[in-house]
Amino acid sequence: MKRVLIADDHAIVRHGLKLAIEAHGYEVVAEADSVAQARAFMTHTNPDLLIIDINLPDGSGFDVITWARKISKSLAIIVLSFNDGADFVRSARAAGANAYLVKDAPMVEIIAAMEFAVCSPNSFSSKIVSALSIDTGLTAREIDILHCVNQGLSNATIAANLFISVSTVKSHVSAILRKLHAQNRVQALTNAREHGLIK
């Protein structure tokens, strides 16, 4: 059972997330309402996944993300915020988060982001496409798949991880090659790095 730490200064948000997350088989090991609590609980509970808001009363969630990512490369980190600006999404990615969602996102999207982040801790996705595809036109799903390709995963493995068909993966890969003006996967990854989409 994957262990989750929720960091949000709104008790009702934490409570709602806890109920929904635990209904999907996760264990919420702690709830933090500040940067200080988030750091303390991270140290004491060693969660597999962190769900964090950006606006906390004693600082920024970005600080926690950067700090947490230095400690663990495998920790899944999901940002859940009211802010939907492109700059926030880019900052979350730069800090080391795996996904950025707004708080009015359907729970199914939040759970899907959690599951993908746990399986692919080096990935990043967001429905706020403008922040991720300013130069390329890649969709959030295509960026997810691009990260999988960067990990050397086969189409079959990508399909299994994302709960989609192999033919759908192939269609997305073809779109990625076209949008990145690449002839093959190696060239696509090179172009993606130039755009800052992958490391």
CATH number at residue 181: 1.10.10.10
Domain limits for position 171: 140-194
Number of Cβ within 10 Å of residue 69's Cβ equals: 17
Query: What is the predicted pLDDT for the residue at 25?
Result: 94
User: Do 102 and 13 fall within a single domain?
Assistant: yes
CATH of the domain at 59: 3.40.50.2300
Residue type at position 84? D
Nearest alpha carbon to residue 89 among 78, 75, 73: 78
Query: What is the predicted pLDDT for the residue at 133?
Result: 47
Distance CA 26, CA 3 (A): 6
Query: What is the predicted pLDDT for the residue at 83?
Result: 81
Query: Left, alpha or beta for 181 (phi > 0: left; psi -120 to 50: alpha)?
Result: left
User: Do 70 and 161 fall within a single domain?
Assistant: no
Residue 135 resides in a domain: no
> Running along the chain, 199 residues long, what does each successive block of 10 average in pLDDT?
96 95 96 96 96 91 92 94 79 89 91 89 73 60 83 92 90 94 92 73
User: Do 146 and 187 fall within a single domain?
Assistant: yes
User: Do 99 and 163 fall within a single domain?
Assistant: no
Query: What is the predicted pLDDT for the residue at 140?
Result: 63
Distance CA 105, CA 110 (A): 7
DSSP per residue over the chain, as a string?
--EEEEE-S-HHHHHHHHHHHHHTT-EEEEEESSHHHHHHHHHHH--SEEEE-SEETTEEHHHHHHHHHHH-SS-EEEEEES---HHHHHHHHHHT-SEEEETTS-HHHHHHHHHHHHH-TT--EES-HHHH-TTT---HHHHHHHHHHHTT--HHHHHHHHT--HHHHHHHHHHHHHHTT-SSHHHHHHHHHHTTS--
Residue 134 resides in a domain: no
Say how many domains are in the chain: 2
User: Do 159 and 124 fall within a single domain?
Assistant: no
Query: What is the predicted pLDDT for the residue at 14?
Result: 96
Query: What is the predicted pLDDT for the residue at 110?
Result: 93
User: Do 166 and 82 fall within a single domain?
Assistant: no
User: Do 21 and 66 fall within a single domain?
Assistant: yes
User: Do 29 and 122 fall within a single domain?
Assistant: yes
User: Do 103 and 27 fall within a single domain?
Assistant: yes
Contact residues for 38 (Cβ-Cβ < 8 A; gap 6+): 5, 7, 32, 50, 52, 56, 61, 64
